[in-house]
Chain A
Amino acid sequence: MDYLTLAISAIFISNILLIQYLGNCPFLGVSKKMDTALGMGGAVIFVMTLAAVITWAVQYKLLEPFDLGYLQTIVFILVIAALVQFIEMFLKKAVPPLYKSLGIFLPLITTNCAVLGVALINIKEEYDFLQMLVFSITSAIGFSLALVLFAGIREKFETARIPRSYQGTAIGLITAGLMALAFLGFSGMV
């Protein structure tokens, strides 16, 4: 599979958020305002790529040689949690402005299932190093793209007249469904 196909399919055709249903909690949680969505998107791109590289290395250099495949889930989640903590401390010390804009999103990312999901998909699909890298970055970009688009739509809700029972999450989910429908249209591209 060539890298461009992989990239396009990760961003559009099997968008991690809208088609693979991963990372929906932050999707609905932080998409009320455009700038928080942008911040979360940036943080996810950063963490997801790093987490994917590290978990990939752990899987092939540590778990497989020692026949510890059954520990995959525990090890991966611990690696991600530790990584997030580490990035948070590093940014706080080294790049304070970046920490200010991304800081509050970092703890949320530990329980973002898209991060663990991408790490697991990388192993399941048996990607080599470069494929893994391309897939992780583009998946994260796809996530951020959907998040930012959704936040743009959601800002309009404030002036829209929505029935009371459907305000908040309910209308958010229906909107996400319509967006997913639009993304399904990409499926003929590759």
Chain B
Amino acid sequence: MITSKDVEHVAKLARLALTEDEKRLYTDQLSRILEYFAQLNAVNTDGVEPMSHALPVVNVLREDVVETPPGHKTLLATAPDAETVTSSAPDGTEESKSFFRVPKIGD
């Protein structure tokens, strides 16, 4: 059984702001879904190794070869708020850097 307090807690963990209607709806629906899921408890899993993957996957390393990435301008073009700043280095060469802009992080 899941309470509306649980729903509020989980919503906060998931970074979701729910309306009162949504809280009521999800409390009801998630309760019924979790109740249905309880049938899992009937399966004996003593000593069974959890399976995270259907294939025997192992860590993969690649050759250490330099590749050309798309570049910061291309990647930041998809950001909702970003800017590129160009400045001169002491040796006279131009250097450009791109940044995400976000609202206030803390007080």
Q: Do A and B come from one complex?
A: no
